[in-house]
Each structure stands twice: as C-alpha cells, then as structure tokens.
Chain A
Amino acid sequence: MAQTSTASRDSIAVPEKMPATLTVNGVERKLKLAPWTTLLDALRDHLDLTGTKKGCDHGQCGACTVLLNGRRINSCLTLAVMHDGAKVTTIEGLATDDTLHALQQAFIDHDAFQCGYCTPGQICSAAGLIAEGKAKTADEIRELMSGNICRCGAYPNIVAAVNDAKTAMASPG
C-alpha cells in the first residue's frame, strides 16, 4: 500500500491519506487517515467516539483499552491503517439497546469509579479478561487487570465489580 512519491533524505513527500475500513461497535466505518493516526486518535477524533480515553498515550495506563477482534489492546500503540477490515469494540459498544453490559452494571453496583477517566478502559479490559477465561481468583483478576491504572484508587471496588460480572456472565438468566 505504498503511497509516497520518491523520498529524499531531508524531506519526504507527505503521503496521501490511506483508506481503512473498521467495523466499530458493529458498524462499518470507512476512513481515510494519515498513516500516523493511532487507533485511539481514529476513534476519538475521526469517529467522535470519545468514550475511549487518552491517558498516557504510551501504553502504560490502559485508559485507551479497546477490544480488537475480541482481544484487549492499547489503542494508543497501534496505527489505525494497520487494521483494515478489523472489528473494534469500544466502551460505547458494550450495552445492548437500553440494557447495560453486566460489567457496566457491576461497576455501578460496586461503586467502582470516582472520576471515571480510567473507567472505559477498565471495563473494556475486564471484558477482554472475562473472554480470556483465565482469571479465577481475586488475585488473578488483580494481576490480569494490572494494565489498567486508577489514580483515584478504586481498585478494591473494580476487582469486586469484575468478579461479580464474571460470575453473572458465566451463568446467564
């Protein structure tokens, strides 16, 4: 997908925007983006999905966590144009019509947020954790959620919420 004309050592011709089609929360979105647009910036700035947050922009805080083809990733450390054809789920895509996702309900029930800035990333990360199916104990939840930090210190309630949702999702109805 090379786009540039000849590149000299001192300057490069700025590439034209490149196409990328992402299915975001079930909706196909056709984008034309500069290649250096991270997936995070594509979601926030180009698709107006500002639920996903830019915390550190370096993959250290987890506030930018989304699900890419069902797996949780830091959207700040990947380029949108790398993922043509991929499915992305953001915090905006978890609820079904008017029914909150089990994790969203659990975070409310357990008071698992104060300022709420880390919360979309926490919930998407927890959704990925539950899908991975590896965390059984509270300690394992803590370890596997260690990519998401919370400056407000809501951790005990976050762990309780994740545990609660995990149980609820394992036995639906």
Chain B
Amino acid sequence: MRPFSFESVTTANDAIAAGASGDGGMEFLAGGTTLIDLMKLDVMRPTRVVDINALARTELGRIDVQRQGLRLGALVRMAEAAEHADINTVYPAVAQSLRLAASQQIRNMASLAGNVLQRTRCPYFRDVSYEQCNKREPGSGCAALDGINRSHAVLGTSDQCIASYFPAQS
C-alpha cells in the first residue's frame, strides 16, 4: 500500500468535516474489506484514511425492525443483520441473502453501507497493469471493451465502460 495518514473520528460531525475538507485523497474506512483490498492492488490510493467505525455506537449502528419497514444503520455489519432475530422473523429474505454473501469472516467485518459502496468486479479495473480503465483514469479508455468481457454488463453500458456494477461512486 502507498503511505497514508490515518485518523479515527468519533462523531458524525467530525466525519462530515473530514469529508468536506475538499481533500480528494480522503477515504472513509469502515470494515475495510473493499478499501484495503483495493489499496493493496493500488487501485485506490487515498492519502488520508478516516476510520468511522466508532460511529457504529450512534444511530448509524442501529437496526430498527417494524412491520412497516426495516431501518438498517450504515455501520451495521452484515453478520449483525443476518443474525438479528427480528430481521429473521419479519424480513427473512434480507437475512438469508446476507448469509449467502461473502464468507463469515467478511460478514463479521463488512458494513452494510460499505457493501453497497463496493467497486466493480471488472478484472481490468482491479489490475493496474491495464492502463485503459475509465473508472480508474478517466479518458484512458476501456480495456474490457475488446478484451475478455464474458461476465460484463449487457445493459447500461457505453463505449466508455462495460463493467457490470455501477455503485453510487463507481
């Protein structure tokens, strides 16, 4: 991994301030199961890492099960939600789908918001020896377009990117 500074925040306001600093090299760190993986591959290169795990003690770590709906805090771990008795009773599909994902070790670490923020599985994105990747380097092209793209997207693609997963930040 490239060198970075590390800090922990304990309040949402401190996390927001870290995010508002305009420092493009900042990444939040929760479970780390995506970020640290991609940092080791040199795909993500933050210069400043802000650990937000302490926020799990706030409402961000809360699970609220009602008949009208289920509220899952961003920092709830996959395993917590999968093992939650009320989720299993009232929303069993949620618990079951979590139990079928990743491994128990990963589920014990990974936050639900981080789960949604995972980056694409495109092998060209994950391998920096391929220079052409518009997700990593906008304007560089898409190596998957005329590469091995068997498991790539069928819908929602373009000449700029045919990767199969478009999370919020991409």
Residues of A within 8 A of B (CB): 1-4, 7, 9, 12, 14-15, 18, 34-36, 38, 57-59, 62, 65, 71-74, 76-79, 81-82, 125, 128-129, 132, 134, 144, 146-148
Cross-chain pairs A/B with CB under 8 angstroms, 19 sampled:
A1-B7, A1-B8, A7-B25, A59-B37, A62-B103, A65-B105, A72-B104, A72-B105, A72-B108, A78-B109, A79-B6, A81-B6, A125-B104, A128-B108, A132-B83, A144-B104, A147-B102, A147-B104, A148-B103
**Minimum distance in angstroms from B19 CB to a CB of chain A:** 15
Given contacts A1-B6, A78-B109, 9 further A-B contacts (CB under 8 A): A7-B25, A15-B4, A34-B3, A36-B3, A58-B41, A73-B105, A79-B6, A81-B6, A147-B104
Q: How many A-B residue pairs have CB under 8 A?
A: 101
A15 touches B3 (CB 8 A): yes
**What string of 1s and 0s marks CB contacts (under 8 Å) between B21-35 and chain A?**
001010001011100
Q: How far is the CA of A14 from the CA of B2 in the complex (A)?
A: 10
A78 touches B32 (CB 8 A): yes
A35 touches B6 (CB 8 A): yes
A7 touches B47 (CB 8 A): yes
How big is the B interface, by class? 20 to 34
B6 touches A18 (CB 8 A): yes
B160 at the interface (CB under 8 A from A): no
